[in-house]
A and B are shown apart, each in its own frame.
Chain A
Amino acid sequence: MSIAIEGAGAESQNVTLLELLDRIIDCGVVLTGDLTIAVADVDLITLGLNIVLASVERMGQLRAGAGLERVEGPA
């Protein structure tokens, strides 16, 4: 892959990773119902594969706040 940025310098490497991250985490063929991605030993879950990155604990709090039942992620 290559990146062309108007007026870019050292930022292009970071931009490459962001562009890559955006594509390969949010796009591509979906073969399974759920993915588990972890950051810093905290499991991250996806909702409907629309990739909502959040910790399992935080998502539990959000669900409780929204009055939703807890759905176990593939932690």
Chain B
Amino acid sequence: MEGLCYVYAIVHRGMSIRAELKGLNEAPLSAVAWQDLAAVVSRIESAAILPKPVYLLRHEAVVETMCQAGSALPVRFGTVLSDPEAVAQALARKYQVLLADLARVGDKVELGLTILWNTTAEQDEAKAGQPVLWPAETSARGTPGAGTRYLQARLAEYRREATQQHRARSLLAHLEEALHVHTLEQHYDKLSTRRLAVRAAYLVHPWQVQGFQQAVDEIRQQYPTLRWLVSGPWPPYTFVTLRTP
């Protein structure tokens, strides 16, 4: 086997890899072991990986297959090392953390929840509830001056953001209360973009997936103007410890 090593997942040493399962560019998969751990790898010619759908989906297919066969940790897309020795050294450097993570999250799955503001409904609400801010400064022709218009727009934006912050906090509190019995760990992002109310990832046992989805269905009925996206089950990408160097 020659070329660079592309890494897909970390598993327990000795875990079998299905022969029909192939890596990027249909390359055969193999395991590089260090003590009780092994990395699932394939050979690749270049370290610069195109994030094309075919590669993304193949990476995911390998990781998901390994997760279904036993405990596995998903490795970040695009991870390329120079050779099997470098892979073994990487395992050795992070051995204890990887081993602990494999025990903690290796047999769990991740569910994603994205909640978007419904911008049309939100704009209608804003228009309906918009108060007269103050008697407008008027020009000689009876229309608001540029300064007034600017300050009114700033105030309207401030109020919109304050309202969204309040609604997002309330929604998040509701989610935490309703979903904590169905989940092991949670990761939340709130209002990271203008349209995004909440983006969350949940670590769950595979047998908790159905209960989680039912709980989300019940919550979403109470927020008919929001758009909900539930995704998964995914390998536990968000819950590994080694997410930064």
Contacts and interface: CB of A to CB of B under 8 A. Distances in A.
Contacts of A38: 48-50
B57 A25 contact: no
Interface string B203-245: 0000000000100000010000001111111110110101111
A23 B238 contact: yes
A5 to B, nearest CB: 5
B112 interface: yes
B237 A36 contact: no
B242 A6 contact: no
A16 B53 CA distance: 11
A14 to B, nearest CB: 10
Contacts of A6: 220, 227-229
Contacts of B24: none
Given A24-B76, A31-B75, A36-B49, A48 B231 contact: no
Contacts of B78: 25, 35-37
A19 interface: yes
A15 B7 contact: no
A29 B112 contact: no
A20 interface: yes
A43 B231 contact: no
Contact of A1 (B39, B51, B60): B60
B162 interface: no
Chain A, interface SS category: mixed
B187 to A, nearest CB: 9
Given A24-B76, A31-B75, A37 B213 contact: no
Q: Which of A8, A16, A31 has the most CB of B within 10 A?
A: A31
Interface in A22-65: 23-33, 35-39, 43, 48-50
Interface residues of A, number: 36
B90 interface: yes
Contact of B213 (A4, A20, A36, A74): A4
Nearest to A31: B90
A30 B76 contact: yes
A2 B232 contact: yes
Nearest to A5: B229
Contacts of B75: 28-29, 31
A28 B244 contact: no
19 contacts: A1-B231, A1-B232, A17-B56, A21-B51, A21-B56, A23-B237, A24-B60, A25-B51, A27-B74, A27-B240, A28-B235, A29-B243, A31-B90, A33-B245, A35-B76, A35-B78, A36-B49, A37-B77, A50-B244
Interface of A: 1-8, 15-17, 19-21, 23-33, 35-39, 43, 48-50, 74-75
Given A15-B231, A31-B76, A36-B78, 15 more contacts: A1-B233, A23-B110, A27-B74, A28-B76, A28-B240, A29-B101, A30-B79, A31-B75, A32-B81, A36-B47, A36-B80, A37-B50, A43-B48, A49-B244, A74-B47
